[in-house]
Amino acid sequence: MAATSHSTGAAAAPAPPVTSSRKLVLLGESAVGKSSLVLQFVKGQFDDYRESTIGAAFLTQTVPVESGNFVKFEIWDTAGQERYKSLAPMYYRSAHAAVVVYDITSAASLLKARAWISELQRQADPSIVVCLAGNKLDLADAGQRQVSTDEAQKFADEEGLMFAEVSAKTAQGVEDMFKRIAERMPVDTAAAKSRTGASLAGRGGVNLNQGSGNSVTDGCAC
Amino acid sequence: MPLWSRTPQPPPPSQAARSPPATQASLSTSPPPPPGFLANHHRRSSSNLDTAHTRAPSGPGSPGRSTAPRLQVHKAGKGRAQRTVAEADELGADDEPWDTNSDEEHELDPSSLVARIGGVSLSIPASSSSGAPQPGGAAGSAAAAASTPVSPTSASASASATTTPTSSSWSFNPFRGASVPAPAAPVRTASGSSSLAAAEAVAAALSGRGGALSARPAPPMQPQRGASYLAGASRVQEEADKVVRAEEQRRSLERGETKPALVDEPEEMDVPGTDKDGTEEDQEGEARKEEESEREEKGEGWAKEQCRRAIRRDVDELVKDPAHVLERLKVAWAAPTAPPAPTAHRASISSVVEPSPNPNKGPADDDDDDDDDPTRGYVQLDAPALSSTDPSIVEFDAPPPNPEEEGERGREKRRRRKFLDVLASDNVDLGELRKLAWSGVPDELRTMVWQLLLGYLPAPLSRRAATLARKRSEYASLVRQAFSRGVGGLDGPIWHQISIDVPRTRPGVKLWMAEATQRSLERVLYVWAIRHPASGYVQGINDLVTPFFQVFLQGYIDADPETFDVSTLPPSVLEALEADSFWCLSKLLDGIQDNYIFAQPGIQRLVKKMDGLCARVDAPLAAHLKEQGVEFIQFAFRWMNCLLMRELSVKNIVRMWDTYLAEGGDAFSEFHLYVCLAFLVRWSDTLREMDFQSIIIFLQSLPTQDWTDKDTELLLSEAFLWSRTFQAR
């Protein structure tokens, strides 16, 4: 996303509509529903059982924002198992947004989410928009909830994160969450846009769009 | 999930509904491992080490092989993760070399075990020490088998001709007529039954739910449950799963009633992120629904009966020695055939391929015997084909001029006959077998061939039955040990990860969605993981079990394994199937362990190497990928981690493994690298037209759904050419 480094966050371009590509990464413990969340968002699908994600999976989805423009999310859905942790920096380093997912029926998964958030605060671009997402909201009524909304909301507020409770299964809150994130994304100017298409490739580049002085510089983890 | 949290939080009140507080409490205060556990293991593995070291150089039945290639693999990763690789080295060092006969099996390194396993509270029943592998050849194995606690497996394997396996779940075998289940009291030595009793005591306590988890009393064994040692383990598994997977189970129950209403046809989405997995699963989901409705119509009993009917008549003999299949095939394949085609024209392109003395290769090619040319299958592919036994000669085969038996059918017939000849020998010539297997193994013979090539099944006929019986009994005691202390005795994090991955292994395939199969998979993975503490269970390993399990299952039935209900198998057969899958998985993973240890240096190295090789074999593609900012790790990681199992069908994978196993050595890392390279380059034209996003999306859902063996074989032959070209340098 090297080309977006010129964007200023101006959402003013009235016409023609501009589509800004923004990189988003999903993090969180294994089996909290990261892939399901993305699949619901991108394809409106849900499977009770999905193969575990190995390494990371890539998908895109475009959402309209209030300014009349569009944000195209390039989503890296990472693997949750601890063993794959060393791959994660490669994906979150140049990300504009991160969705850190936990499972509302698992207190342990919130702990893991906290760990991811503190890693992001240390390692990711300071301008990254982080959203804490409590998945499996559909199980709340079944009495399986282990993490209260208040507790998670409080934590999110303390850390200055966006927060949402969602259900990848019923789609409840999913689109809304991504839209809210999209609204927080800086929009390319029309001029910058013309360069964007070709250079999405610049994955190795760092997102510098809001002054990332101390971000870990480019290159991948490999 | 809170259960396995290393820092347990006070559960909110609502949580009481899903798991009894008593269970929680006793779990979190699970006692440390008894002193006997580590001591036992230490003693046991020390003796293993000694044996392995003295024995390894003279691995029988494998000309010219040694442990060297494998050890190099470990060393290669050293720069990156020295400590863990060293750990893996230790682990690997006392393992078998790739294909020595494995009836003296050793794994488990004392130091790494102690280092890693700290919190694991496993107990080894006193009886288990007698189950330690023993040195020596056939005599040794026999002695070992005798002194090992005899499991129901070995008991039934050795006495299967006369005894009826007994289990509550096994009551009727259409091929032997209705057999009255004997009161389930399998043959078992005193020591064996005591450990089983302990396991079942826990199980019994657990089934009472809520209480007594920490008490672990040892009530008298309940006869109905004694039919299979797997039953005891299953109880523990069930209970553990109840606790860990409460919500998953609830959802799977709900699934029947409320199908998600949000499923759209992925093709209709205007989003580029259409992903193969989703599509496939949808189709599989449809198939599943159909099957379910069919089953509802005709009844569960009918479906089970169909499965029982599909079990082979001679299943007991097959379990005892897979070579029994030859009896049937000698007749089935005996149709008159023309004499083998004379030697075909050969065009040597040895200038292309540099001679690379390969220690993995068997005896030199036999020129006047063309039928075993491993490259025969490639004639029609126009692929560079060559004798795998002599890397210095690359041959293009011309079609056999024999008019009587031209074409693939005749060739296939001759190959089959050749297979029968080689396999029927009292001491299978593994070199010959490799040559044959390289270009594919007939389905009927795959169990035997794979097990031979993996070094699991001994080449000498005289040792097979005893070895198999012993390995299965050894696995039985491993399972008993692993589950003997109930839920509290399980390694929490490992169990948690396995228990959430098992239900999502090959989702949508009936075989893998069935309870009985999932329990087996769980045991195999868990026992492997706790025996390999340097890596533990890593996602993707679950995928690697499935080809073994399906291939071995296929050997016992006359039906599609993917729709088969394994709970209809006689317990002794399921036990053998599971144990064989376990040992063969272990053999496979031995060669690629640094793919799964900390930081996965094996994969990192292979991906890097692939990157470099791509620039040499397809510079334009490499340049394009670089220009678009595509990193190899972004797509090839999965290719290495799951051995392309997420990219190709199981059928394709099984065909590929024929060749990998024939290649031997470090084929699952090094040769696989070249297969991946060939796989990538195959899409070169398409990829070079794409931008970053399209490339990534395309590469993670490649259009291989319609691939046949031919496609796979083309890949393999290209990989072969490259591997011989580049490995020599």
pLDDT tens track for A189-206: 654 444 444 344 344 433
Distance from C-alpha of B21 to C-alpha of A92, rounded to nearest angstrom: 38
* A19-28 vs B177-178, strand pairing mode: unpaired
Chain B CB contacts of A221 under 8 Å are: 633
* SS3 of chain B: helix, strand, coil, percent, to 5: 60, 5, 35
Give the pLDDT of residue B166: 36
Q: Which of A51, A103, A222 sits opposite B504 (nearest CB)?
A: A51
List the structure tokens of B487.
Answer: 């839920």
Q: Are B587 and B605 found together in one domain?
A: no
Do the Cβ atoms of B192 and B216 come closer than 8 Å? no
| Domain C-terminal end among B591, B610, B629 | B591
Contact B262 A220 (CB under 8 A): no
Whether B381 is covered by a domain: the verdict is no
Give the pLDDT of residue B133: 38
* Local structure of B106: helix, strand or coil: coil
Give the pLDDT of residue B46: 35
Contact A44 B264 (CB under 8 A): yes
A-to-B residue pairs, Cβ atoms closer than 8 angstroms:
198
Rounded alpha-carbon distances, angstroms, from residue B680 to B576, B615, B633, B685, B686:
38, 12, 13, 10, 10
pLDDT tens track for B129-146: 333 333 333 343 434 333
List the structure tokens of B551.
Answer: 């291939």
Do the Cβ atoms of B644 and B719 come closer than 8 Å? no
Distance from C-alpha of B242 to C-alpha of A70, rounded to nearest angstrom: 45
pLDDT tens track for B24-55: 333 333 444 343 333 333 333 333 333 333 33
> Confidence class of residue B488 from pLDDT cuts 50, 70 and 90?
confident
Q: Tell me what percent of the residues of chain A surpass a pLDDT of 70.
A: 78
List the structure tokens of A128.
Answer: 């990254």
Q: Are B639 and B556 found together in one domain?
A: no
Q: Are B511 and B627 found together in one domain?
A: no
| Domain C-terminal end among B560, B591, B622 | B591
> Confidence class of residue B148 from pLDDT cuts 50, 70 and 90?
very low
Q: Are B322 and B423 found together in one domain?
A: yes
- The answer to which of A78-82, A163-167, B6-10, B632-636 has the lowest mean pLDDT is B6-10
Whether A181 is covered by a domain: the verdict is yes
pLDDT tens track for B435-449: 999 999 999 999 999
Tell whether the model's pLDDT for residue B210 goes beyond 70: no
- The answer to which of B311-325, B330-344, B411-425, B651-665 has the lowest mean pLDDT is B330-344
Of B534, B492, B597, nearest in space to B114 by CA: B534
Q: Are B418 and B531 found together in one domain?
A: yes
Distance from C-alpha of A140 to C-alpha of B14, rounded to nearest angstrom: 10
Chain A CB contacts of B116 under 8 Å are: none
Q: Are B419 and B556 found together in one domain?
A: yes
Distance from C-alpha of A156 to C-alpha of A134, rounded to nearest angstrom: 11
List the structure tokens of B591.
Answer: 């060669």
A129 beta partners: A97
Q: Are B425 and B554 found together in one domain?
A: yes
The structural domain count of chain A equals 1
Q: Are B578 and B634 found together in one domain?
A: no
Of A184, A188, A179, A138, nearest in space to A161 by CA: A184
Of A141, A51, A147, A66, nearest in space to A102 by CA: A147
Whether A74 is covered by a domain: the verdict is yes
Range of the domain at B624: 601-727
Kindly provide the ipTM of the predicted complex, given to two decimals. Answer: 0.83
Whether B165 is covered by a domain: the verdict is no
The CATH number covering residue A54 comes to 3.40.50.300
pLDDT tens track for B508-531: 999 999 999 999 999 999 999 999
Whether A91 is covered by a domain: the verdict is yes
Q: What average pLDDT does the segment A143-148 reach?
A: 94
Give the pLDDT of residue B19: 40
pLDDT tens track for B215-245: 343 343 343 434 577 888 888 888 877 766 5
Looking at every residue in chain B, the average pLDDT score rounds to: 68
Contact A105 B637 (CB under 8 A): no
Chain B CB contacts of A149 under 8 Å are: none
Tell whether the model's pLDDT for residue B398 goes beyond 70: no
Distance from C-alpha of B602 to C-alpha of B500, rounded to nearest angstrom: 25
Long-range contacts, stretch A194-200, CB < 8 angstroms, 24+ apart: A195/A3, A196/A3, A196/A4, A196/A19, A196/A20, A196/A21, A197/B691, A198/A3, A198/B691, A199/A1, A199/A2, A199/A3, A200/A1, A200/A3, A200/A21, A200/A74, A200/B629, A200/B691, A200/B692, A200/B693
Rounded alpha-carbon distances, angstroms, from residue B298 to A211, B255, B290, B468, B558:
67, 21, 12, 38, 21
Whether A110 is covered by a domain: the verdict is yes
Distance from C-alpha of A133 to C-alpha of A73, rounded to nearest angstrom: 17
Tell whether the model's pLDDT for residue B532 goes beyond 80: yes
Q: Are B701 and B570 found together in one domain?
A: no
Q: What secondary structure letter does DSSP report for B182?
A: P
Chain B CB contacts of A51 under 8 Å are: 277, 504-507, 646
> Confidence class of residue B284 from pLDDT cuts 50, 70 and 90?
low
Our CA-based measurement puts residue B626 at a distance from the nearest CA of chain A, in whole angstroms, of 9
The structural domain count of chain B equals 2
- The answer to which of B131-135, B406-410, B578-582, B586-590 has the lowest mean pLDDT is B131-135
Contact A108 B252 (CB under 8 A): no
Whether A164 is covered by a domain: the verdict is yes
Tell whether the model's pLDDT for residue A221 goes beyond 90: no
Q: Are B503 and B414 found together in one domain?
A: yes
Residue with tokens 């929680």: B24
Of B404, B472, B481, nearest in space to B120 by CA: B481
Whether A24 is covered by a domain: the verdict is yes
Give the pLDDT of residue B387: 40
Q: The pTM is what?
A: 0.67
Q: Which of B260, B275, B596 sits opposite A169 (nearest CB)?
A: B260
Rounded alpha-carbon distances, angstroms, from residue A183 to A20, A92, A155, A162:
11, 19, 22, 12
Whether B562 is covered by a domain: the verdict is yes
Our CA-based measurement puts residue B707 at a distance from the nearest CA of chain A, in whole angstroms, of 21
Q: What average pLDDT does the segment B253-268 reach?
A: 39
Whether A6 is covered by a domain: the verdict is no
Give the pLDDT of residue B26: 38
Q: Are B441 and B587 found together in one domain?
A: yes
B295: burial class by Cβ within 10 Å (0-12, 13-18, 19+)? middle
Helices first, then strands: H and E counts in chain B: 31, 5
Whether A121 is covered by a domain: the verdict is yes
> Confidence class of residue B67 from pLDDT cuts 50, 70 and 90?
very low
Higher pLDDT among residues B352 and A29, named by residue: A29
Contact A45 B262 (CB under 8 A): yes
Range of the domain at A60: 19-186
Q: Which of B17, B285, B637 sits opposite A143 (nearest CB)?
A: B17
Q: Are B433 and B567 found together in one domain?
A: yes
